[in-house]
Structure 1
Amino acid sequence: MPHMWWVVVAAVVVGLVVAYLIWTAGRVERLQARAESAARALDAHLLRRAAAAAVLAERRYGVELYAAARIALDAVPEEREAAENDLTRQLRSVRLDPADPACESVIAASRRLALARQVHTDLVRDARTARSRPVVRLFRMGRRHDWPRYFDIDDPTLATPADVPAG
């Protein structure tokens, strides 16, 4: 009977360790799922911006902007970052009039894209941090998923004449 309390303490410790491991595995899964969801949302915003830029280029700004928008729309994953950065540079090279609905559509899509990119970056960072912890690596808790990847593009927010100070 005097040694029975050791068994109880050992059972409680094992229970706590198991509970911690289950909680950690759940957290890794949730963060991974959120990062994957953010990647899909980012992709949707990239497509919306490229489509809006293509429509704008057809109406007003011509071949270079249209080509950049089409390349961004058709890019394979390995070339997507470069294509999106090129589209951002092309959009910055034209003077966008926020009063024009087509320009406003591109400006709004770029702002939403900037927000989606920030959310994606934050969630990828959190998922990578969780998956880098020693206990997670030891028990291979994230093995069912690919390692979360950052999407490295320039800030897609566009300045309009109203945003630029006079002088």
Structure 2
Amino acid sequence: MPGMWWVVGTALVVGLVAAYLIWTAGRVDRLQTRAESAARALDAHLLRRAAAAAVLAEQRYGVELYAAARIALDAAPDEREAAENDLTRQLRAVELDPADASCEAVIAASRRLALARQVHTDLVRDARTARGRPLVRLFRMGRGQQWPRYFDIDDPTLTVPADVTTG
């Protein structure tokens, strides 16, 4: 009978290790999926801001801002970060009046973009951390998926002059 306990104990340990590995694989997959969803949401917010900036440029601010917005809208994936940073610089160079609906649309889109960027960065960090763990690498969990990438842009939040907001 003592040999029977050895078999039961071994089966229990193997079952617990298998359950942990299944849980870990599910966690890695969920984090990867959430990071991909955050990337799509970030992309949508980038497009909204660029479109709002293009409308604003057509109405008030002219060629340079319009060109930056169009470049951001049409940029290839490998050129996207530079195009978005240029658009942010162009938006910071103009004086935005929050009383103007077009300016307010750009300001609001920039705020939402900043939040989407932060969520994306946090989820990418979590997914990369989970995939970088030794056990995950040993069992090659998540091997069918690309590593999530950070989207490295300047903080897109726009400041509004103090005298305009208190006026």
TM-score, normalised to structure 2, is 0.97
AA of the residue aligned to 1:94: V
Q: CA–CA distance in 1 between the matches of 2:164 and 2:21?
A: 52
Quote the residue 1:122 is aligned against: 122
TM-score, normalised to structure 1, is 0.97
Q: CA–CA distance in 2 between the matches of 1:9 and 1:85?
A: 59
Q: After the TM superposition, which segments of 4 or more aligned residues of structure 1 sit over 6 Å from their partners? A: 163-166
- Residue 117 of structure 1 aligns to a residue whose secondary structure is helix
**C-alpha displacement at 1:162, in angstroms?**
3.1
Q: 1:65 and 2:65 equivalent? A: yes
**C-alpha displacement at 1:163, in angstroms?**
8.1
8 Å Cα contact 2:98/2:165 also seen in 1 = no
- Residue 21 of structure 1 aligns to a residue whose secondary structure is helix
Q: CA–CA distance in 2 between the matches of 1:130 and 1:15?
A: 22
**C-alpha displacement at 1:161, in angstroms?**
1.3
Q: CA–CA distance in 2 between the matches of 1:126 and 1:2?
A: 45
1:89-146 Cα offsets, whole Å, 9 max, x none, are 0000000000000000000000000000000000000000000001111111111110
Q: CA–CA distance in 1 between the matches of 2:120 and 2:163?
A: 26
**C-alpha displacement at 1:164, in angstroms?**
8.7
Q: CA–CA distance in 2 between the matches of 1:45 and 1:6?
A: 58
Quote the residue 1:159 is aligned against: 159
Q: CA–CA distance in 1 between the matches of 2:27 and 2:90?
A: 41
Q: Which has the higher helix share?
A: 2
Quote the residue 1:93 is aligned against: 93
Q: 1:51 to 1:4 in 2, by over 3 A?
A: same
The gaps in structure 1 that reach 5 residues or longer are none
Quote the residue 1:7 is aligned against: 7
- Residue 3 of structure 1 aligns to a residue whose secondary structure is helix
- Residue 105 of structure 1 aligns to a residue whose secondary structure is helix
Percent identity over paired residues:
86
The gaps in structure 2 that reach 5 residues or longer are none
- Residue 146 of structure 1 aligns to a residue whose secondary structure is coil
**C-alpha displacement at 1:3, in angstroms?**
1.2
Counterparts of residues 125-140 of structure 1 (less than 5 Å): 125-140=125-140
Q: 1:44 to 1:50 in 2, by over 3 A?
A: same
Q: CA–CA distance in 1 between the matches of 2:164 and 2:148?
A: 36
Quote the residue 2:82 is aligned against: 82
Q: 1:39 and 2:36 equivalent? A: no
